[in-house]
């Protein structure tokens, strides 16, 4: 009986993961989350090592013949690659030595084993309120088999945006 229940639970979880969809850009978001930006996570007035990456990505599949290679064929994924179709909010931790950002929550971006990130420039301010941009080059990232997280590489900071975010 317990074995049968575990199979049913695993099947429900797998179905939910297959049917996951992104949050479309028309959803209501707080004012601070309405721009392409990096937001420092605070709790009880204290800062943490976590940050939110907030932007819009992806495009409508009506005119897309395929934008992501999956299982040997090109398919469309709404909330991946170029465009501004879906709101993306992902909590990450930065490694400033390696110039990487690793997701904290397993399924913030997608339930897929890969994520096709378009190039993005995200606004943020330092402690002195000076503006900077975190630039993330376009990349296909794969879920780590142990931690189940994604790691974005090649990050760099500039005083002006390096990408148009389209």
- With a cut of 50, say whether residue 17 has pLDDT above it: no
Give CA–CA dist 71/56, Å, rounded: 26
pLDDT of the residue at 123:
94
Q: pTM for the full model? A: 0.71
Q: Is the dihedral of CA 27, 48, 58, 76 positive or negative?
A: negative
- The CB density around residue 53, as the number of other CB atoms within 10 Å, is 24
Outline where DSSP puts E strands in the chain.
Answer: 23-24, 37-43, 46-57, 68-70, 73-75, 86-95, 100-103, 114-117, 120-125, 131-136, 139-142, 151-152, 156-158
Return the structure tokens found at 135: 């630039």
pLDDT in tens, 18-41: 333 334 334 344 444 447 999 888
Confidence of residue 110 (pLDDT cuts 50, 70, 90): confident
Residue bearing the bigger pLDDT, 160 or 2: 160
């Amino acid at each position: 009986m317990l074995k049968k229940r575990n199979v049913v639970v695993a099947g429900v979880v797998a179905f939910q993961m297959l049917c996951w969809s992104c949050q479309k850009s028309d959803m209501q978001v707080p004012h601070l989350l309405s721009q392409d930006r990096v937001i420092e996570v605070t709790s009880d007035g204290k800062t943490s090592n976590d940050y939110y990456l907030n932007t819009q990505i992806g495009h409508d599949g009506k005119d897309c013949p395929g934008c992501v290679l999956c299982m040997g064929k090109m398919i469309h994924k709404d909330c991946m690659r170029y465009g501004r179709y879906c709101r993306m909010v992902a909590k990450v931790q930065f490694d400033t030595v390696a110039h990487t950002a690793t997701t904290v929550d397993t399924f913030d971006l997608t339930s897929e084993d890969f994520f096709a990130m378009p190039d993005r420039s995200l606004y943020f301010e330092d402690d002195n309120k000076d503006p900077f941009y975190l630039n993330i080059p376009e990349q296909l990232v794969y879920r780590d088999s142990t931690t189940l997280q994604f790691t974005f590489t090649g990050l760099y900071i500039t005083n002006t945006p390096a990408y148009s975010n389209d």
